[in-house]
Amino acid sequence: MDLDAYVSERSPLVERFLENLLPSSDRPPEVLHAAMRHLVFPGGKRLRPLLAMASAEAVGATAERALPAAAAAELIHTYSLIHDDLPCMDDDAERRGRPSVHIAFGETVAVLAGDALQALAFEALARAADSHGTCAAAAIVDLATAAGASGLVGGQVDDLAFDPAKASNERVESVHERKSAALIAAAIVGGARLGGASEPQLEELGRFGREVGVAFQIADDLLDEGENEPCSSLTVLGREAARERAEMLLSRALARVEDLGSRAEVLRELARFAVRRDV
């Protein structure tokens, strides 16, 4: 199946799952529920959910099996964007061409909507334990680690405090690994866990996810040229070397999932798209 066909077939599964998960904005407190939904619908590329589903399929399970991990990763991603946009962080008034949550609902509700989305992510995965047993708990450990002080949050702290005078590729990639790659890897490993993958498969998929995640973030840095971010692969490597680095990481990642065979083809296609996209 080609990537476009895969995305149009699988995306409705994620949309429906998220729609059922998020509290209705007709129910009180309406403002909180509306704020929680603001950045979830419409979403972005849904890259993390698609990777989670493709990863489950790469180990022989259905996409449906991966939905709790797919949705949980998307909710963690969404909550982190809401908090990143806050005045005390990046102070961004827009996100995906629409007002960011604190502009639309105020700062107080934006902090709280992010907090509630994080709780909901773990709730969604924990509810999967009924049908998935202890692998759901293992997926929660992965996701919480990726989301917490040693992952997303720690990466954001170091990104905001990044010292241009000490910039090096190693320091930039340490932020990329935690701020972007950890959650991408957690989505991929989570999908595979719920799909019943073996421990060796999970380890290779974790490495695959971290490499694709860093390469994805390098691609982001290349697309953001002109923003002059201090913590950017473009800044420390230059355009050509950054592009080469992303391609090197991508091919190393692809080699890891080679022996999963043709059922991993969509996962490989998604990885190529994540790194080579122009949006």
Residues near a second copy, by CB under 8 A: 23, 28-29, 31-33, 36, 79-80, 83, 86, 88-89, 106-109, 111-112, 114-116, 118-120, 122-123, 125-127, 129-130, 133-134, 136-138, 140-141, 144-145, 147-150, 153-154, 156-158, 160-161
Q: Which is nearer to a second copy, 28 or 42 (CB)?
A: 28
Q: Which among 160, 165, 166 has a CA at the least distance from the CA of 179?
A: 160
3-state secondary structure at position 9 = helix
Q: Which among 59, 80, 6, 17 has a CA at the least distance from the CA of 208?
A: 59
- Cis amide linkage into residue 49, ω under 30° from 0: no
Q: Which among 185, 237, 188, 174 has a CA at the least distance from the CA of 213?
A: 185
Q: Which is nearer to a second copy, 132 or 243 (CB)?
A: 132
Q: Which is nearer to a second copy, 156 or 201 (CB)?
A: 156
Q: Which is nearer to a second copy, 125 or 172 (CB)?
A: 125
* Nearest approach, Cβ of residue 153 and a second copy (Å): 4
Q: Which is nearer to a second copy, 147 or 249 (CB)?
A: 147
* Nearest approach, Cβ of residue 13 and a second copy (Å): 22
* Nearest approach, Cβ of residue 69 and a second copy (Å): 13
* Nearest approach, Cβ of residue 198 and a second copy (Å): 18
Angle, vertex CA 247, rays to CA 241 and CA 252, nearest 5: 125
Query: How far apart (Å, rounded) are the C-alpha atoms in residues 241 and 258?
Result: 26
For residues 130-151, one letter each, b for 16 or more C-beta atoms within 10 angstroms of the residue's C-beta and e for the rest, the string is eebeebbebbbebbbebbeeeb
* Nearest approach, Cβ of residue 134 and a second copy (Å): 5
